[in-house]
Structure 1
Amino acid sequence: MKQSVIITAGGIGKRMKSDLPKQYISVQGLPVLMHTINKFYAYDAEMQIVISLPKDFIQMWKDLCEKHEFNIPHEITEGGIERYHSIKNALQKVKGEIVMVHDAVRPLVSIQTISNVTEKAKSKGAAIPVLPIKDTLRKGDSENSQHQDRSEFWIVQTPQAFKLDLLQEAYQIPYSSAVTDDASLVEAMGKQVFLTEGNEENIKITTPFDLKLVEFLLEK
């Protein structure tokens, strides 16, 4: 079954306090985004890889590919105003029966996590990788809060995987700021999303600390 992945690289890195968006920051000799692409290529060298980039950074990415002699086949699509619009644009290029959507700044996704989510999507239609919450949870504010049962909550990762026709249908729903990921958009249609096991190293680089942690793990 043909598979595709949309890798979203639209962030501008405000919380990184860097002029360079985090997906282009070099770690262990390569930009973060290249490490991420390498993981999906290692999983399936025949997979269609579509990268969503802000218009102003497309040439920078091409220059980086030339500099690093990065030749893994991939297609580039121009990002939109919000993540929703970027994915909707990228879906026009997708050819796989199963499509994943992944954050560019999660370079340590494991091959097993990718396999888990794609296999579940093949059988169930929609799947996301998750991890159990280890910490104690409370809901409320500093004045009034209540303990929560952590067994009922999960940390959501990417890639999220779907049958293509299901995700295309979901993206006919108009944009809303309340929809934070692809799974919530699919659920807005009344469809069920199934959980699979993620991996703890699958960190989303958001802060300088996250970057240092990813550097450490890649070195190991």
Structure 2
Amino acid sequence: MLTFIITAGGIGQRMGGSVPKQFLLLNGKPILMHTIEHIYAFDPSAELIVTLPEDYLSDWDEMCRKHNFTIKHEVVPGGRERFDSIKNALGKATGDWIAIHDGVRPFVNQSVLNQLLAEVKSHRAVIPVIPVKETLRIADGETNATVPRDQYRIVQTPQVFEAKLIKKAYEQKYLTSFTDDASVVEAIGARIHLIPGNEENIKITNPFDLSLAALILKNWN
């Protein structure tokens, strides 16, 4: 059985405004609903768990009624950090394989999802990445230098794990170095397997991203 944890427990300070970014409208519907619909279309039998800011649980219920959103999912209150939100959701997860996905990434490709689920059975921890196009420089105070971009990758979600592995990893205490689920798993000595992601799978974090998402949606199949 597969569990998808869709994390939307933050308030999206980089977006600005009073509405958390996951609730902003994309083509007339909250971004989070687009993400859930896309995951549901991939596997209607998957267990869906959504983390949300505790202060917005009733707002989400109202949005679901307003948009006649009926896809079955369990809502779990988010915590102070993303780490806490995922830990709360893992306590509810029953799948043998657990995929953790950002609620503001509505454009993961179906072929990427298929490859993630195929590869995790032998690698236990698999994440999608894309290459860096731009030149990179590392800056330290007044000094800076070019770094070889071919050694770097941009990390996306969903990140997929064997259930026993990810649950064990989240028994650790929170560290500021935990920027995603792969970093949590890596901290207990597990290896992370990389597969190619898709460029459309952007994380909508600011107004420019929202404009770009509207363009992607027009051409999305």
**How far is 1:143 from its partner?**
3.2
- Give the equivalent residue in structure 2 for 1:124: 123
Spell out the pairing of 1:38-53 with structure 2 (5 A cutoff). 38-53=37-52
**How far is 1:141 from its partner?**
4.1
- Give the equivalent residue in structure 2 for 1:11: 10
Question: SS of the counterpart of 2:160?
Answer: strand
**How far is 1:51 from its partner?**
0.2
- Give the equivalent residue in structure 1 for 2:148: 149
Alignment partner of 1:60 is 2:59: yes
Alignment partner of 1:100 is 2:122: no
**How far is 1:112 from its partner?**
1.5
List runs of 5+ in structure 2 lacking aligned partners.
none
Question: SS of the counterpart of 2:35?
Answer: helix
Deviations 1:125-170 (CA, angstroms, capped at 9, x unpaired): 0010000111111112473222211111000000000000000000
TM-score, normalization by structure 1? 0.97
TM-score, normalization by structure 2? 0.96
Alignment partner of 1:75 is 2:71: no
List runs of 5+ in structure 1 lacking aligned partners.
none
* Cα distance in 2 between the residues matched to 1:190 and 1:75: 31
**AA partner of residue 189 (structure 1):** I
**How far is 1:115 from its partner?**
1.6
* Cα distance in 1 between the residues matched to 2:17 and 2:204: 13
* Cα distance in 2 between the residues matched to 1:26 and 1:134: 30
Tell me if the contact between 2:10 and 2:82 (Cα under 8 Å) persists in the aligned partners.
no
Of 7-16 and 157-166, more deviation after overlay is shown by 7-16
Tell me if the contact between 1:39 and 1:110 (Cα under 8 Å) persists in the aligned partners.
no
* Cα distance in 2 between the residues matched to 1:17 and 1:145: 31
* Cα distance in 2 between the residues matched to 1:113 and 1:180: 22
**How far is 1:219 from its partner?**
2.1
**AA partner of residue 71 (structure 1):** T
Dislocated runs of 4+, deviation >4 Å = none
**AA partner of residue 167 (structure 2):** Q
In the alignment of these two chains, the number of paired residues is 219
**AA partner of residue 62 (structure 1):** D
**AA partner of residue 214 (structure 2):** E
Spell out the pairing of 1:103-182 with structure 2 (5 A cutoff). 103-141=102-140, 143-182=142-181
Of 160-169 and 144-153, more deviation after overlay is shown by 144-153
Question: SS of the counterpart of 2:185?
Answer: helix
Question: SS of the counterpart of 2:14?
Answer: helix
